[in-house]
């Protein structure tokens, strides 16, 4: 704890930024971008609502990441042999009580931002916001943590996918088209692929810590094919929508992510040192952003 007390202010801010896991935040930006692009294409772009949705999504993910740092420390999941980025609570760089206050504060900020969205969108947004915060805490906290019982993938798929895209669209358009949550499956699947890389890397340490992710439950090969499945189905989504709607054909530009994905799939199936997957994790996060950017541009273009 002496290390915590003697840190300089700039270094301490770097620690908090590290705990927020900035390289994973593309998972929050991507669905908001897609929902906003779809609202814009329909003539419903509302800048204040779009900005509030982005801020709320980022704060909820950062709050979830901080809560994970705290609860994984309490449950002993962050061991010395862990291969992922440094967990600051486990390393003794930030006190557990400070981390707890930080995630509560971050979720509180998210709720304050959400007040405007609730005022604009009504009770559906209230329910979505409260559930997002609740499951962000229950991901690693509570008596039945989702991430410890193989349910993390479902949470990520739903809340970083259809819920986020549809919610972003709804607060701008104040209505919802069925193709919007369908489009949301893509960022949800890609964010699930991101989680899968994390779980594949940590499969051995998670097993020792009693963290029963899908990778631990069903094994390495399941996780490898889960990664492939998530990417391929996400790539198919704009093709399906273009064929169904007979428009927005340029959204198929999002298929370009298959080019970098091919290299990451090769790594997923051939790695011998799990630490290599840290690079795959970063590149998969970038793929989430690139996919959503290309989809959004293509959806707005006429054709």
- Per-residue pLDDT of 41-71, as tens digits, reads 999 999 999 999 999 999 999 999 999 999 9
pLDDT at 210 over 90: no
Residue 209 in any domain: the answer is: yes
d(C-alpha 150, C-alpha 54), whole Å: 28
Residue 3 is assigned to a structural domain of this protein: no
- Does some domain include residue 9? no
Q: What is the pTM of this model?
A: 0.92
Scan for tokens 């995630």, then name that residue: 103
Residue 269 within any structural domain of the chain: yes
Number of compact structural domains in the chain: 1
Residue 3 has pLDDT above 50, yes or no: no
The reported pLDDT for the residue numbered 4 is 47
**What residue numbers bound the domain in which 246 lies?**
23-300
pLDDT beyond 90 at 80:
no
Q: Is residue 2 part of a domain?
A: no
- Residue 95 in domain: yes
| Whole-number pLDDT of residue 9 | 58
Q: Could you identify the residue written with the tokens 């002496």?
A: 2
* Cα distance between the two ends of the chain: 60
pLDDT band at residue 141, thresholds of 50, 70 and 90? very high
Query: Quick one: the chain helix, strand, coil %, rounded to 5?
Result: 80, 0, 20
Q: How far apart are CA 234 and CA 161, in angstroms?
A: 11
**In sequence order, which ranges of 122-202 are alpha helices (DSSP H)?**
123-138, 152-159, 162-173, 179-201
What percent of the chain stands above pLDDT 90?
82
Helix spans in 20-175 (H): 26-41, 47-75, 96-121, 123-138, 152-159, 162-173
The Cα–Cα gap between 214 and 197 comes to 11
């Amino acid at each position: 704890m002496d290390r915590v007390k003697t840190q300089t202010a700039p270094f301490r801010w770097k620690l908090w930024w590290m705990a927020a896991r900035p390289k994973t935040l593309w998972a929050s930006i991507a669905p908001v971008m897609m929902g906003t692009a779809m609202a814009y294409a329909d003539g419903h772009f509302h800048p204040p609502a779009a900005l509030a949705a982005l801020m709320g999504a980022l704060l909820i993910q950062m709050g979830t990441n901080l809560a994970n740092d705290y609860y994984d420390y309490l449950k002993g999941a962050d061991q010395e042999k862990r291969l992922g980025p440094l967990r600051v609570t486990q390393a003794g760089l930030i006190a557990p009580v400070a981390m707890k206050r930080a995630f509560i504060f971050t979720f509180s900020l998210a709720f304050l931002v959400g007040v405007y969205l609730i005022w604009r969108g009504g009770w559906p947004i209230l329910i979505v916001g409260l559930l997002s915060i609740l499951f962000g805490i229950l991901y690693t906290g509570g008596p039945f943590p989702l991430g410890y019982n193989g349910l993390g993938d479902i949470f990520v798929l739903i809340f970083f996918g259809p819920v986020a895209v549809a919610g972003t669209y709804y607060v701008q358009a104040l209505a919802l088209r069925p193709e919007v949550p369908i489009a949301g499956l893509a960022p949800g699947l890609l964010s699930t692929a991101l989680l899968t890389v994390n779980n594949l890397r940590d499969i051995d340490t998670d097993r020792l810590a009693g963290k029963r992710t899908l990778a631990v439950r069903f094994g390495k090969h399941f996780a490898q094919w889960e990664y492939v499945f998530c990417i391929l189905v996400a790539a198919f989504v704009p093709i399906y929508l273009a064929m169904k709607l007979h428009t927005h054909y340029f959204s198929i530009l999002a298929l370009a992510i298959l080019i970098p994905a091919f290299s990451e799939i090769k790594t997923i199936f051939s790695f011998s040192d799990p630490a290599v997957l840290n690079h795959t994790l970063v590149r998969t996060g970038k793929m989430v952003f690139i996919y959503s950017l290309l989809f959004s541009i293509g959806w707005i273009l006429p054709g």
